[in-house]
Every structure is written in structure tokens, then in C-alpha cells.
């Protein structure tokens, strides 16, 4: 099977959600940062993101909810890969993340095993299992928890072995941007999801309210960053990018025209994480 098929299945445009929390958590660790632990945390985060993407592809594919979709190619629904192969890819990704997490647990605290297990269960049950919570509108909440709070605080903890208020505050902009990535994806697929019984948050809220929430998440990320340190004022340099993205989403573009918004949201998250990391380093 061609390597580009697996790259499509891994959905590179969503990977900033896994990279950003490690960047911010490591920057916050400052002089206590431990490079190899940061890299292990990155492996955990990326493996979980790729794993949830493959498991989502598999689960939606066998349910038929990815048929006739507007967004990027899903490799099960399009016939590029068999369901069993994609399911296996998801489990391999989770296994790699679990191994890296086990090393971090051995270096810090065994409680990380419970956190990692919860993250893997949440990743699989997003669209898998008998009652996938992603079909009930809880996907964004899970993303905020696991790719915001858990990922950023976890990256900080495995290097410093403590949790601080600043660490918690720094997780908010990370989680808000991660939620925005999922939300723009669900806004794009809202009409199709509604017809196949996939009650995502975008389906439940409706088109206009979902777009307003997207803008609100970008605003939350910016405002919460300013609470962390006065140096975070430099993140305002990215406000024009956020404004243009928000304006595009609010302009009622729909369907295929929303596909580039996913990449732009991911790019904004990475840039924001890098600038916030600089602010944390300066502070």
C-alpha cells in the first residue's frame, strides 16, 4: 500500500494539536526542561493524535458515515485501505504512545499510566464502540481536556515533576485552538453528519452558532494567554491572522471552501504556541 495513503489517513493538518502542547509545556519548564523527556512527551502526543485519526477513519468507515463526504479523503470509505488495516494502524499508534508513556511513568510517577489509559480509551471511543461520544456532541470537550489540559500539563510535569497555576493557565489557549481545529472540521461536515445521525456539536448548535463558537475559541485563546505573563502581549502580533481566519469562517463559506480553514487553524495554533513559548521563555 502506498505511503501517501497512510499519510492521508494520519491527517497531517490535525497534527499541530499534538505538537503545540509539548512546545508550550517545554517552554514553561524553562531551565528545568529535559530534552529527551520532551521528545518522549511529543511521541506520546503525536501517537495519540494519529491513533485517533486512524480509529476515526476506521469507525466512521465501517458505519458508512464517511460516504459522500466533503472533506479530505478518508482511506476506509474511499477504498484506499481495508478496515482491518486501518484498525491495526490505530492500535500500532496507540501502542507506540503507550510505550513512550510507560518510560515517562517509570521516570516520574506510575499514575501516568492511568492518565495514558484514559487518553487511549477517549481516543478510541470518540467514534468507536457502541456509544461513541463524538456522535453526541462531546468531541470538543474531550479535545480540550486531552489535547489541552492533559497534553500541555503532562509535558510540563514529566520535565519538572510538578504542576503550577501558570501551567494550568498555559493549557487553556492550547486547548482552545485544538477545539477550533475539530470544530471547523465539524462545521464543514455539519449537513452530511446531520443526515447520518452523527450529532456533533456543530450539528447540535447549528451553522451560525457553531461559527460564532469558533470565533469565541480564537478569542479565548488570545485572552487566556494574556493572563499567563505580561510577555504574552507579543502573541497579539498574531491577532491579524486570527482575525482573517475568523472573518473567513464567519463569511458563510461552506462545504469544500472550508477545507483550507482546517490547515489555517492548525497553522495558527503552531504559530501561537511558538510565540507563546517565546513569551514564557522571556518571562
Cα separations in angstroms, 220 against 140, 216, 228, 246, 278: 14, 6, 13, 13, 19
Q: What sign results for the dihedral spanned by CA atoms 216, 188, 122, 134?
A: positive
Segment 234-259 shows an average pLDDT of 92
Can you tell me the distance from the alpha carbon of 221 to that of 148, in angstroms, rounded to the nearest whole number? 11
In terms of Cβ atoms closer than 10 Å to its own Cβ (0-12, 13-18, 19+), residue 131 is exposed
User: Which of 278, 220, 270 has the alpha carbon at shortest distance from 246?
Assistant: 220
Alpha carbon dihedral 77, 252, 201, 57, in 10-degree steps, equals 20
Is the Cα torsion angle 255, 260, 264, 267 positive or negative in sign? Answer: positive
> pLDDT by residue (tens digit) across 38-87?
999 999 999 999 999 999 999 888 877 766 666 667 888 888 889 999 99
Instruction: Assess contact for 163 and 156: CB atoms under 8 A.
Output: yes
Burial of 196: CB neighbours in 10 Å, binned 0-12, 13-18, 19+? middle
Give the closest residue to 105 by CA, choosing from 48, 149, 41, 151.
41
Whose grid coordinates read 502573541? 235
Closest alpha carbon to 102 in 90, 112, 87, 91: 112
Q: Which three cell numbers stand for residue 173?
A: 489557549
How would residue 5 be classed by pLDDT, with cut points 50, 70 and 90?
A: confident
Flag the least confident range among 19-28, 154-163, 183-192. 183-192
pLDDT band at residue 255 using 50, 70 and 90 as cut-offs = confident
Q: Write down the residue that cell numbers 497534527 correspond to.
A: 15
Q: Tell me the pTM.
A: 0.93
- Kindly report, residue by residue over 7-36, the tens digit of the pLDDT: 888 999 899 999 999 999 999 999 999 999
Say which residues have a Cβ less than 8 Å from residue 199's Cβ, sequence separation at least 6: 135, 136, 137, 193
Grid cell listed for 283: 518571562
Cβ–Cβ < 8 Å for 94, 120: yes
pLDDT in tens, 139-155: 999 999 999 999 999 99
Amino acid at each position: 500500500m502506498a505511503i501517501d495513503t497512510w499519510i492521508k489517513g494520519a491527517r497531517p493538518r490535525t497534527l499541530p494539536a499534538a505538537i503545540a502542547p509539548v512546545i508550550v509545556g517545554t517552554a514553561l519548564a524553562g531551565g528545568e526542561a529535559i530534552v529527551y523527556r520532551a521528545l518522549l512527551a511529543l511521541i506520546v502526543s503525536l501517537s495519540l493524535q494519529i491513533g485517533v485519526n486512524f480509529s476515526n477513519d476506521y469507525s466512521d468507515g465501517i458505519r458508512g458515515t464517511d460516504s459522500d463526504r466533503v472533506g479530505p479523503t478518508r482511506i476506509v470509505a474511499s477504498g484506499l485501505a481495508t478496515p482491518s488495516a486501518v484498525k491495526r494502524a490505530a492500535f500500532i499508534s496507540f501502542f507506540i504512545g503507550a510505550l513512550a508513556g510507560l518510560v515517562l511513568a517509570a521516570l516520574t510517577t506510575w499514575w501516568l499510566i492511568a492518565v495514558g489509559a484514559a487518553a487511549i480509551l477517549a481516543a478510541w471511543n470518540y467514534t468507536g464502540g457502541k456509544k461513541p461520544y463524538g456522535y453526541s456532541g462531546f468531541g470538543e470537550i474531550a479535545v480540550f481536556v486531552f489535547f489541552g489540559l492533559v497534553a500541555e500539563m503532562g509535558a510540563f510535569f514529566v520535565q519538572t515533576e510538578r504542576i503550577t497555576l501558570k501551567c494550568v493557565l498555559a493549557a487553556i489557549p492550547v486547548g482552545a485552538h485544538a477545539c477550533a481545529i475539530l470544530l471547523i472540521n465539524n462545521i464543514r461536515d455539519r449537513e452530511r453528519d446531520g443526515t447520518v445521525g452523527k450529532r456533533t456539536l456543530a450539528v447540535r448548535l447549528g451553522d451560525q452558532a457553531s461559527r460564532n463558537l469558533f470565533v469565541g475559541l480564537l478569542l479565548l485563546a488570545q485572552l487566556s494567554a494574556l493572563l499567563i505573563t505580561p510577555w504574552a502581549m507579543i502573541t497579539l502580533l498574531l491577532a491579524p491572522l486570527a482575525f482573517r481566519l475568523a472573518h473567513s469562517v464567519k463569511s458563510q463559506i461552506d462545504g469544500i471552501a472550508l477545507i483550507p480553514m482546517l490547515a489555517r487553524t492548525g497553522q495558527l495554533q503552531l504559530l501561537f504556541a511558538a510565540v507563546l513559548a517565546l513569551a514564557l521563555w522571556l518571562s
